[in-house]
């Protein structure tokens, strides 16, 4: 336990939210200089305006703040070289909180040494985005069940077709691939709607709202019996192309696919094929293997694909929720309690 915690604000954070953190955890000394932080272009713009450049004197002041802190609110400028620099330059640094839910991938990409990873604790903003991403997942599942592409095509053609049945989530089975904070919320909401939920788990621990647990290695055996798939997994070596050709080749024709995790979890080439032959009837994608999505990608032109530019989690409340999470974790650190959303330095998740 300790009395105070010196925290450097390394990413854009309004004075209003700085004040919120200080009220929620008065033992935090939140060091910031708004002149040294880039202006934001939209809510939760953690990197800030890319055209912002500090003078040499400003950069030296900024680095002095970072190098005398015990903790960082955010990765400096959201740049991994800047993170490596401060970890090397500041032996007193104990904790870095990342803005992203998948901040573990950033930590891995920073290529810190084993000693540095042991000295500095990293946490993520996982869970903060669960509610808006669940809503996007519902949007995708409902769009697939109600065949929105067909409705839009009929409207564009001014065509009033014969009545046809629509799917109903209450009568469907949905597979949630990944039962972290986002996946659990998706499962909870779907179960409340009457949907039967299957979820993936490596440990087999029961989860509220999930009727059946399956191991990720068994996806191909499970997907023939589901109507929809929601991917919520982070991008790691263990999850890369987990939803690949074998899984997509085994789905029931017309299955809806939603991805609110990371684009690398789905084999996009295999997905394009499955969308083309109707195995995947509709896909709602917020994330992609490479972002921005290549203008030449065939996904742009497929009528049964909804593309969201990795923005489904972005809401006006995101910054506040991250600030609240950080304040809670700061109190835990000061009181010697386990932190929430710790990054594994083995799996980086």
The residue with tokens 């509709």 is 282
Q: DSSP assignment of 207-233, as one string?
A: -TT-SEEE-GGGHHHHGGG-SEEEE--
Contacts 24+ apart (CB under 8 A), 28-36: 28/4, 28/327, 28/330, 29/4, 29/5, 30/73, 31/6, 31/7, 31/65, 31/68, 31/69, 32/8, 32/65, 33/61, 33/62, 33/65, 36/61, 36/62, 36/65
CB 222 within 8 A of CB 191: no
95-97/121-123 β-pairing: parallel
342 φ, ψ (degrees, to nearest 5):
-65, 140
Give how far Cα 182 sits from Cα of 127, 142, 242, 290, 329, Å: 6, 18, 18, 22, 19
| Residues annotated as catalytic (active site), given as ranges | 262, 291, 310
CB 154 within 8 A of CB 293: no
Task: Provide the token pair at 274.
Answer: 């499955």
The residue with tokens 């200089």 is 33
């Amino acid at each position: 336990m300790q009395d105070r915690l010196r925290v450097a604000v390394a990413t854009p954070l309004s004075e209003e939210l700085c004040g919120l953190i200080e009220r929620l955890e008065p033992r935090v000394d939140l060091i910031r200089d708004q002149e040294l932080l880039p202006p934001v272009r939209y809510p939760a713009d953690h990197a800030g305006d890319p055209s912002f450049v500090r003078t040499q004197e400003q950069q030296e002041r900024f680095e002095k703040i970072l190098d005398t802190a015990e903790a960082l609110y955010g990765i400096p400028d959201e740049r991994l070289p800047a993170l490596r620099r401060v970890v090397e330059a500041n032996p007193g640094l104990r904790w870095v909180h990342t803005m992203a839910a998948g901040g573990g991938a950033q930590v891995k990409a920073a290529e810190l040494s084993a000693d540095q990873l042991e000295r500095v604790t990293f946490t993520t903003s996982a869970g903060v985005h669960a509610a808006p991403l669940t809503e996007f997942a519902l949007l995708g599942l409902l769009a697939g069940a109600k065949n929105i592409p067909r409705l839009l095509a009929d409207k564009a053609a001014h065509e009033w077709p014969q009545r046809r049945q629509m799917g109903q989530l209450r009568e469907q089975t949905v597979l949630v691939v990944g039962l972290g904070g986002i996946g659990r919320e998706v499962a909870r909401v779907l179960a409340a709607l009457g949907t039967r939920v299957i979820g993936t788990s490596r440990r087999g621990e029961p989860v509220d709202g999930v009727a059946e647990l399956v191991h990720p290695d068994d996806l191909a055996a499970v997907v023939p019996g589901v109507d929809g798939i929601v991917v919520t997994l982070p991008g790691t070596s263990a999850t890369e192309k987990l939803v690949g050709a074998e899984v997509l080749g085994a789905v029931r024709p017309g299955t809806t696919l939603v991805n609110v995790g990371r684009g690398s979890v789905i084999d996009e080439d295999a997905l394009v094929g499955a969308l083309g032959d109707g195995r995947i009837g509709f896909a709602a994608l917020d994330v992609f293997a490479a972002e921005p999505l290549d203008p030449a990608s065939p996904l742009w032109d497929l009528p049964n694909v909804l593309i969201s530019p990795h923005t489904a989690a972005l809401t006006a409340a995101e910054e506040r929720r991250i600030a609240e999470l950080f304040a809670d974790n700061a109190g835990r650190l000061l009181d010697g309690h386990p932190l929430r959303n710790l990054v594994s330095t083995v799996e980086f998740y």
